[in-house]
Structure 1
C-alpha cells in the first residue's frame, strides 16, 4: 500500500522531470542565441588566432585583420544579419575604442603595445584594434534583438550618460589625477541596483540583475584578452619577456567599459524610439 509520502513523490516526479527538460531546452536556446549574438566576436577571434604573425601573402598580420573585420561587417549587412543602423553603431564603437587605444599606446603612457609592423597603423595603433571594442557593441546590439531584451527600472538617461562619460574619461585621466574607478563603480552600483534585464530565450520571459550581466560580460572579455595577448596580438609591458596572465584587476576595467557600452546602446535605442513616427 502506498503511503501519502509515496503518492506525493509519484505526483511531483513527472513535474520535476518536465521542469528539468524545460530548463535544459531554454538553456539550449539561450546558448544558441548567445552564440549567434557573438558571431562577429567569434569570427574575429578566430581570425586573430589563425592569422600568422608573419602575415598572409606578404600582407602584415594587422592589415589582414583589418580587412577581415571590415569584410565581416559588410558580409553581415549583406546577409541581413545586421542592419545599417547597427553597422553605424559598430562604427561608433570603433571610433571610441581607437581613441582610447591611441592614448594608451602613446609614448608618454605605453600601457600596452602592438609590436608588429603594419601599413594601417595610425599613432602606433593598427586600425583593426578599434574593432575589438566594436565586437562588444556588436554583441550587445545583437543579443538585444535576438533575446528581445527589455530593461526594467532603467535610471534616468542623463544620469546613466554622466556615469558612462566619467568612466570613459577616467581611462584617460587616471594617469594624471588618480584612478577613481572604484568610486565610479560604487556610483554605478547605486544607479543600477534596481535595474533588471528581461530576456526571452524561448517563449517565456526570464530576468536577471543588469549589474550581474555587466560583471559576467566583463569576465569573458578578460578571458578573450588573455587569449589575444598569449597570441602576441598586443602585449602589456610585463608580457614582453614572457607571457603571463593579464592581471585580474583588468576584469573591473572591462566591466566598467561594458557599462559604458551598454549606455551607448540603450541611449541610441531610446533616441530612436523617441524620433520614430509610426505610419498611418
Structure 2
C-alpha cells in the first residue's frame, strides 16, 4: 500500500509542477478548435499565457526568483526561435500583431514552461544535488550546447560530441528528491533523457494543433522525428543548469 501512496504523492507534485505547460497546451488546443472574433490566434495565446503567468505569481504558485528564471529562459528561447525561423527550420504561418520577424512572442513561453516545471518540481519535491560539477564547467557546457543550436547550420553539428561530454561532466551528479518522508535519488543524466522524451511528445501535440510547422508538416501533419529528442535532451540541460545555479548558490 505504501508504494501506491508514494506514487500518488509523486504524481500529484508532478501534476502541480506542470500547471504552466498544461495551460500552454490547453490554450493551443482550444484556440485551434474555437475561433475567437476580432483577435488573431497567436495574439490570443500570448494574452492568455501572460494572464496565466500573472495568476501563478500573485497566487503564490511561483516565487519572484522563479519568475526571474522563467523570464531568462523566455528570452533564450525567443532568440533561438528568431534564428531558427529565419533559417527556415520551422515556421509560424498564421497572422498576428504580436509577431517579431515572423515569430509570435508567445513562443518564448514554450521554452519558459520547461523552466517553470523545473522550478516547481525542485521546490515541491525538495530536491538537492550531489556531485554538481560547479559553475565553470556547467556554464561552459551549457553555453557550448546553446551555441551549437546556431552554428550547426554553417559548421558540423557537434551534438553527439556535446552529448558525450554531458555524460562525462555529470557522471557523478545525482538528483535527490523527497516524497513525503522518503528520500530517493536518480542520476541527473537519466533525468535529462526522461524530460527530453516527454518534451518531444509535447512537441508532437503542439505541432498537431498548429503551434508551429516543420517543413515536412506544411501539407499534412507528420510525426516529429525521433532525432529531435536529442535536441530537447540538450535544451533541458541548459534549463537545469540555470535552475540549479539559482537553487544551489
Tell me by how many angstroms 1:92 deviates.
0.8
Is residue 117 from structure 1 mapped to residue 132 from structure 2 by the alignment? no
Please tell me whether the aligned partners of residues 150 and 197 of structure 1 are also in contact (alpha carbons under 8 angstroms): yes
Give the equivalent residue in structure 1 for 2:171.
Answer: 193
Is residue 248 from structure 1 mapped to residue 248 from structure 2 by the alignment? no
Give the equivalent residue in structure 2 for 1:9.
Answer: none
CA distance in 1, matches of 2:35, 2:107: 16
Is residue 235 from structure 1 mapped to residue 213 from structure 2 by the alignment? yes
Instruction: Output one character per residue of 1:156-190: Cα deviation in whole Å (capped at 9) or x when no partner.
Output: 22101110000000000000111000000000001
Tell me by how many angstroms 1:55 deviates.
4.3
Instruction: Output one character per residue of 1:181-235: Cα deviation in whole Å (capped at 9) or x when no partner.
Output: 0000000001111211010122110111111110000000000100111111200
Equivalence map 1:1-280=2 (5 Å)? 21-52=1-32, 55-106=35-86, 109-271=87-249
TM-score by length of 1: 0.87
Tell me by how many angstroms 1:38 deviates.
0.5
Please tell me whether the aligned partners of residues 198 and 207 of structure 1 are also in contact (alpha carbons under 8 angstroms): yes
Judge which range, 136-145 or 43-52, deviates more: 43-52
Query: Cα RMSD between the aligned structures?
Result: 1.1
TM-score by length of 2: 0.98
The SS at the match of 1:164 is helix
Q: Which runs of 4+ in 1 moved over 4 A?
A: none
Q: 1:103 to 1:53 in 2, by over 3 A?
A: farther
What is the aligned residue count?
249
Q: 1:58 to 1:173 in 2, by over 3 A?
A: same
